[in-house]
Structure 1
Amino acid sequence: MSRAYIEFRNVFFRYSEDQPWVLKDVSFRIFSDQWVAIIGHNGSGKSTIAKLINGLLTPEKGEIIVDGLPVNEDTIWEIRRKVGMVFQNPDNQFVGTTVRDDVAFGLENRGVERREMIRRIDESLKAVAMADYRLQEPHRLSGGQKQRVAIAGVLAISPQVIILDEATAMLDPKGRKEIMDTVNELRTQERISLVTITHDLNEITQADQVIVMNQGEVYLEATPREVFLEETLLQTIGLDVPFVAKLANELNKDGNIISKQPLNQEELLEELWTYHSIK
């Protein structure tokens, strides 16, 4: 991590003056090349944060900084060149009659030269394993394939940050894993920051940092391992830890069996093997 690329400074937001605050005095920092997962129950404010980062909404109080620029009307188009968003329903993002045309849309809007446009389309579709579908109609694709195309469209504009706003919510577990593995691989290769908005704690295991939202406030900020240790705390706000973490926490109630909070099944088995080897 080098520097704070995104910063929220005491941000307040509500949709109208006669409604309660959606965000209340929210402050946090996201660093370059970092994966931050923002989790919380429905209505906790997590999706509002995504829209504020990209300038789709404007805070009533406080300040949002992206790459040293305050997010406002004067900087909004520069910010959107730096930050790309993938939404829950990819159908809402499709505008082209073919996959290739859809990925080209953002590039055409930015006046990218044709030869460079073709190169970026080819590279972004290849990166998400959708090059063979470039002439397909988007509405004929599966849910996972549609999300891959939506991600390719964002990749093509070469952002420094990708925000996935509940982007896997409509997929089955296998599709979710494929999308998250693809995005994490792209994050490493392209050295971009990643912000994932989700209520599924199974998706946060590979993140560097987790921000837990509750009733518009930052409830907890920690690593995934530290978050999974707070099972009781999370349950009080309607969240639950994955089965592996739950099992590890139960085992430790009978003694210090698990020395390091596991993030997946392989780590849990390794911890159990180490414990029984010592015994």
Structure 2
Amino acid sequence: MREKLIEFRNVSFRYGEEEPWVLKDCSFSIYKDEWVAIIGHNGSGKSTIAKLMNGLLFPQEGEIYISGKIVNQETIWEVRKEVGMVFQNPDNQFVGTTVQDDVAFGMENRGIPREDMIKRIDTSLTAVGMNDYRLTEPHRLSGGQKQRVAIAGVLAISPRVLILDEATAMLDPKGRMEIMNTVSNVQEMNQISLITITHDLREVVQAERVIVMNEGVIWDEANPREIFAKKDKLREIGLDVPFIALLAEELKKKGISMKNEPLNHNELLEDLWTLHSTM
């Protein structure tokens, strides 16, 4: 049985007593080494979930557990050792004058010995492909490079969970692809739980499970293939369907049926090749 790392139990949250509920009675679990994508339109509650996981916010109703510990004011610093977070704008996370200084900052705050810090800087920057930039000033980096350094800074503190909260939203398509490839490699190499918060369905194909938020409630929860199969319903709640899913839908209208709901170009081509071979 898989170890449960994060558990939301009937969690509700709002930003003020007169404000509407942003989350309403949400319950779900995230497990060790699992990659979960949390998606939804702007205002659906997905980023609030990220902040609740890291103790930046606390629920008005319900309970949140990280590695079996309830999240509250007394446990918050223990929780933040377990959960690392990368935000949309990496510039807001930079404090060092060089890349290696920035990666070291979180470890210095935790009193990690210098010898260990040097090893972790090297390991974390290598993991995100940024070791050659360790003496570079952060403001000289591209947007994608900045996000990779931000991820390295979080990895250096050895969290059990890495949250990316709209971490690719400010990047161009090439930068987005680079970051998604980076986090995929990082998750596999470091055996951590990965949570990606996004409104872009193209970013969820590698996830093991998808939680779809809509108006503060869990609208659906399934694997990516099952989620993409609900194209019309996704459109109804304001989510754009990936191009591959739209192309497969148009092919089906022309009488060309896919074996499965394709998640990427390779799957679509493989299905078309198999179909062609049997004709």
d(CA) in 2 for partners of 1:175, 1:256: 34
In the TM superposition, what is the alpha-carbon distance from 1:246 to its structure 2 partner? 1.2
Show the 5 A alignment for 1:1-279: 2-255=2-255, 257-279=257-279
| Contact 1:36–1:209 (CA under 8 A) maintained in structure 2 | yes
- SS in structure 1 opposite 2:207? coil
Secondary structure of the structure 2 residue equivalent to 1:185:
helix
Cα distance in 2, alignment partners of residues 72 and 256 from structure 1: 54
> In structure 2, what is the Cα distance between the partners aligned to 1:189 and 1:266?
24
**1:8-31 deviations in whole A, cap 9, x for unaligned?**
111000000000000001111111
CA distance in 2, matches of 1:181, 1:131: 17
- 1:240 deviates by 1.9
Amino acid at match of 1:80: R
String of CA shifts for 1:61-86, please: whole Å, max 9, x gaps. 00111111111111111110000000
Supply the AA of the counterpart residue of 1:109.
Answer: N
> Counterpart of 1:220 in 2: which secondary structure?
strand
For each residue in 1:84-123, what CA deviation from the matched residue of structure 2 results, as whole angstroms up to 9, or x when unmatched?
0000000000011111111100000000001111111111
TM-score, normalised relative to structure 2: 0.98
Aligned residue-pair number: 279
Q: In structure 2, what residue type is equivalent to 1:99?
A: V
Structure-1 separation of matches of 2:214 and 2:221: 12
Query: Which blocks of at least 5 consecutive residues in structure 1 are unaligned?
Result: none
Cα deviation for residue 135 of structure 1 reads 1.1
CA displacement, residues 202-238 of structure 1 (integer Å, 9 cap, x when unaligned) = 0000000001100001001111101110000000011
Instruction: Read off the aligned partner of 2:77 and give its amino acid letter.
Output: W
| Post-superposition offset of 1:129 | 1.1
TM-score (norm 1): 0.98
What are the Cα deviations for residues 127-146 of structure 1, in whole angstroms up to 9, with x where unaligned?
A: 11111111111111110110
Query: For the Cα contact (< 8 Å) 1:245–1:262, is it kept in 2?
Result: yes
Deviation (angstroms), 1:256: 6.6
Alignment check: 8 A CA contact 1:229 1:249 kept = no
